[in-house]
Structure 1
Amino acid sequence: MKVEKVVGTSYEDKGPKPPSGKFTHFDHVTLWVGNAKQACTYYCVRLGFQPLAYQGLETGSRKVAAHVVRQNKVILVLKSAYEPDDKEMGDHLVRHGDATKDVAFTVEDLDEIVKRAKERGATIVRDIWEESDENGKVRFATIQTYGDTTHTFVERGDYQGLFLPGYGKPPFEDPLCAKLPSCDLEIMDHIVGNQPDLEMEDVAKWYESTLMFHRFWSVDDTQIYTEYSALRSIVMTNWEETIKMPINEPAAGKKKSQIQEYVDYYGGAGVQHIAFISKDIIKAVTALRARGTEFLEVPKAYYTTLREKLKNSKVKVAEDLDILESLQILVDYDDNGYLLQIFTKPVQDRPTVFYEVIQRCNHTGFGAGNFKSLFESFEVEQDKRGNL
C-alpha cells in the first residue's frame, strides 16, 4: 500500500480553562531499573547526560539508590532497590523490565490540582507531602495514570538545591564525559504512552477529566498504516500546551504492530518513548552516533521520494538533505514549516523503551508523514526478532 502525505488532526477547542492550579512543564522522569549505577553510566556515555545528584546509603537512603542525570532541562532519575525482598520494585522490574515508573510535572497551586483530581475520581497513590533540607522545601503528590505508571506533581517554590531535598552530590564523575562530543538535547518535547487495543480513548478521557488536559492532535488507522500494521494516536496537553502526552494504541493489521509488540513485552500499558528537543539535530545526532547510540535505519527510497515531494513544497528545508540522509534523519512538513526527527533502537534487551530526537521548525505536529517509514523501519527490526 502506498501512503501519500499524511496530515494529523489538530484541535482548537481547549475546553474550559482551569480556574486555578497550573501545569508548567515536565519536571523529571523516574525510571526503575535493575542497576541504577550502570544505567547512569549508559545514559551519560551513550546519550550525553551528566551526573546531577545522588541518593543512596551514603545520604541516608536505606532502601533505594537513585542516580539523577541531566542534560540542559532534561532530568532523568534512575532508581534501583537495595533490599532483596523489595516486592514493589522487584515485581515491577520482572514484569516490565527497565522502564519509566513516573512522569513528574512542575505545578503551581498543588492543593487545587490535587483537590480537583480527587473530585474527579483520581486514584491517589500518595497524598500531598513535603520534603525539606537546608536549601528549602518542596511539596509533592502522586496519582495513578495508565498501567503501573504514575504522575507526581512537584511544587518547587524557591527551592535552591541540586535537585530535590535528600539528594547529595554524585558519588563519581566519569572522566569519559568530558572527552565525548556534546549532544545538547534541550528539553522533553513529549512522552508517549502505549495502550492495549481499544484502551486509548478511555486514557485520553482520563486526562481530560482528571487533569483538565485537552486534545491537541490525533491520527487514526485510516491515516497511519503499512501493508502489515497500523496505529491510532491522540496527543493530550495542558491548557498552556507546554506538556504533550501522546497516547497510542495498535490497530488491526496483517501482522503485529510495534505498538502491540511493546504491549506484549512490557506487560500492558506504559511509557514507550521520550522525545528530546534539539536546536541542531545534525550536531546532536552526529554526537550521539559518535557515542555509540543505535538508531533505526531508514530505507533509501524514503529520501528519493522526499526530494521529489519537496520540489513542490512551499516550505524549504534549510538543512542539507545529503547530510540528513547520511544521518538517517526523517523530515515531516506542511505549508507552514517542518520538523526533523530520529528514533533510537530500544535501549535495553526488551523491545520496549526507546528515545526520539526532534527539531521543530515552525511545525507543531508529531511526524505523521513519517509514520509509514518509521513503522517499516520498526518492522525490519521486529522481523529480526521474530515478532512481526
Structure 2
Amino acid sequence: MQSLAPSKRLLTIHHIEFYVSNALQKISIKKNHCNIYFNIIKASYWYCMNFGFRRFAIKENEQWRSIAIRNGNIVFIFTTCKEYDEDFVKHIATHGDSIKNIAFVVDDINATVEQIVGAGGFLEKPVEIISDEYGSIKVTMIDSPECDVSHSLLDPKTYNGFFLPKFESFGDSSELLETLYDYCKDFQKKLCFITIFNLKCSENLMPNFRQEISITSIDHFVMGFPMNSSHSASAFYHRIFDLQEIWSADGSIFNSNSSAMKISLLANNTKTIQIGLVEPIPKTLRVRSQIQEFLDYNSGAGVQHVAFLVEDITETAERMKYRGVKFVDIPYEYYEDLQERLANSSVKITESFEKGFGDGNVKALYSAVEKSQEKRGTLIKEL
C-alpha cells in the first residue's frame, strides 16, 4: 500500500473517551448530626485521586453528560447516558465501564477520509462540523471491525476554544479535596476521608497529597484480541491509518511455563501514536493467560491498558503509591536476568532503556503480571 502524504497522516492522540454507567455519585458524610453532601464524579475522580488528573471541562444535555480531565498532554473524557441509548446500553452490558473511543488529530480530515474510504474503511458517521462562539472543528468516526473501540478523527485548526465545542469550563477537582479536608479536623473524621479515597493513613496527609503528579503524555496503548485475530487487526491499522509495524515478538520470546503471548507494535511516522496489539497463546487447557483473563473480563477485544510517559518514574510511582495506587511486583528473577544481560552488553544502561519497548522490559512485565495472577488465584481455570 502506498503511504499517505504527510498531511493525511494521524498526528497525535487528542483524547480517550470512556463509557461509564455512573458518572455522578452522591456521597453523604454524617458526623455529630451534621450532613455534608458532595457530588463525587465517581469514574473520573479515581484518576484524579490516584493519578493526579484534574477535571476541567463538562458537556451536558438532556441525554448525555461528559466530563473531561487532564494531566500533561493526556485528556480522558467520561461519558454517561441519562436516557436510553441502544449503543451505550449494549457497550455497558457487554464490556462494563471501559474505553469506547480513542480520538486522533489529523491535519486534513477531508483528505484523510478520502484515503480511508478508498482503503476500505467504514465511517460510523459522515464528516460533520461542530461549532460554538470560539470556532468550529471537523469530526468523523471510524468503525473498527475487530472490536467495539471506535476512532474519532478531529481537525481542530479553525477552533480557538480551550478544548472542544459545546464543552464548558468545569471547576478544579482539588477544590473538593480542600473542602473535605477542612471538614476532617479530628482524626476520626480524617479516617472517613482516608477511607473514601483509599489513601494511606498519615498525619501529614494533605501536605503530601498536595504534591502534584506530573504525567507527560500517553506513551502507548495496548489492545487485546482473541487468539489468531491480532494479525487482521494489524492489517486494519496499517491499511486504514497507515501505521507501520516497528516491533513484534511471538510466543517463543514472551512466555512462561504456563502461558505465552504474541505482540506487535504499530506507530505513525513521528511515533506520537503507538499501538500495541496482543493475543494469547495457550499452552495448557487449565491455564488462563493474562491476555485471556482480560478478554474474559472485557467480554471480547478492547483496550487492555494505557501507558503513561513520565519524567521521573521513581518519584511519580512513590507519589502514586501514597495516593493508593497498587503496582505489580517485579519478580526477583528479572534482576538476576538483568545482571547477566548487562554483564555481556557494551550498551550503556541509559541507551538501553530509552527505547521503552524491548524484549527484556516487556518479558519482565509479562512475568510480573503472571505472578499477580497466581496471587489472585486467576491463573488456573477451574475445570
Shift of 1:20: 4.1
Partner residue, 1:352: none
Q: Deviations over 1:67-118 (max 9, x none)?
A: 10000101110111112x3332122112111111011111111001111111
Match of 1:366 among 321, 340, 357: 357
Find the aligned partners of 1:305 and 1:218 in 2 and give their Cα distance: 21
> Which residue is equivalent to 2:109?
110
CA–CA distance in 1 between the matches of 2:124 and 2:363?
Answer: 38
Superposed CA offset, 1:98-144 (max 9, x none): 11101111111100111111122212111101111111111101011
Verify the 8 A CA contact 1:54 1:171 in the aligned structure 2: no
Distance 2:91 2:271 in 1: 31
- SS of equivalent residue, structure 1 residue 184: coil
Whether 1:262 aligns to 2:309 is: no
Which residue, out of 10, 32, 51, partners 2:55? Answer: 51
Q: Show the counterpart of 1:133.
A: 132
Q: Aligned pair 1:16/2:3, yes or no? A: yes
Change (3 A) 1:16 1:91: closer
Inter-partner Cα distance in structure 2 for 1:224 and 1:309: 17
Q: Distance in 2 between the 1:291 and 1:15 partners?
A: 48
- Aligned-residue offset at 1:386: 3.5
Comparing 369-378 and 40-49, the one that deviates more: 369-378
Offset from partner CA, 1:6-64 (integer Å, 9 cap, x none): xxxxxxxx9634364121111110011122221111110101101121112xxxx1111
1:375 counterpart letter in structure 2 = Y
TM-score (norm 2): 0.81
Q: Give the distance between the partners of 1:38 and 1:19, measured in 2 at CA.
A: 40
Q: Hey, which of these two has a bigger chunk of helix by percent?
A: 2
The amino acid of 1:264's aligned partner reads D
Quickly say closer, same or farther: Cα 1:51–1:239, change in 2 above 3 A.
same
Change (3 A) 1:64 1:121: same
Q: Whole-Å Cα distance in 2 between the matches of residues 221 and 107 of structure 1?
A: 35
Residue 245 of structure 1: aligned partner? 275
Gaps of 5+ in 2: 24-40, 179-205
User: Does the C-alpha gap of structure 1 residues 209 and 301 become closer, same or farther in structure 2, counting only changes over 3 Å?
Assistant: closer
Inter-partner Cα distance in structure 2 for 1:294 and 1:285: 10
AA matched with 2:332: K
Q: 2:217 aligns with which of 175, 182, 187?
A: 187
Mapped pair 1:161 → 2:161: yes
Could you say which residue in structure 2 is the equivalent of 1:380? 371
Look up the SS of the partner of 1:185 in the other structure.
Answer: coil
**Unaligned stretches of 5+ residues in structure 1:** 1-13, 319-336, 340-360
- Select which of 39, 44, 58 maps to 1:40: 44
Distance 1:97 1:268 in 2: 11
The answer to whether the 8 A contact 2:56-2:171 is kept is no
Q: Quote the residue 2:184 is aligned against.
A: none
Secondary structure of 2:325's match?
coil
For 1:149 and 1:384, the matched residues in 2 are separated by 30
> 2:252 — aligned with what?
222
Structure 1 residues 16, 115: CA separation in 2 closer, same or farther (over 3 Å shift)?
A: closer
Q: Which amino acid aligns with 1:285?
A: A
Deviations for 1:214-270, whole angstroms, at most 9, x for unmatched residues?
A: 111111111111111111111112233321111111112232211111111111110
* Other-structure match for 2:239: 209
Larger Rg: 2
1:31 to 1, 9, 18: 18
* TM-score, normalised with respect to structure 1: 0.80
1:187-238, Cα deviation, whole Å (9 max, x unpaired) = 1111111110000111111111112221111111111111111111111122
Alignment of 1:316-327 (within 5 A): 316-317=348-349
Q: How many residues align?
A: 329
**In the alignment, is residue 271 of structure 1 matched against residue 303 of structure 2?**
yes
Query: Alpha-carbon deviation of 1:369?
Result: 0.8
Q: Which moved more, 1:203-212 or 1:300-309?
A: 300-309
Q: How far apart in 2 are the matches of 1:124 and 1:16?
A: 20
1:63/1:82 contact within 8 Å kept = yes
Q: How far apart are 1:161 and its partner, in Å?
A: 1.7
Does the residue aligned with 1:232 lie in a helix, a strand or coil?
A: strand
Q: How many Å separate the matches in 1 of 2:6 and 2:59?
A: 37
CA distance in 1, matches of 2:317, 2:333: 21
Q: Are 2:185 and 1:198 equivalent residues in the alignment?
A: no
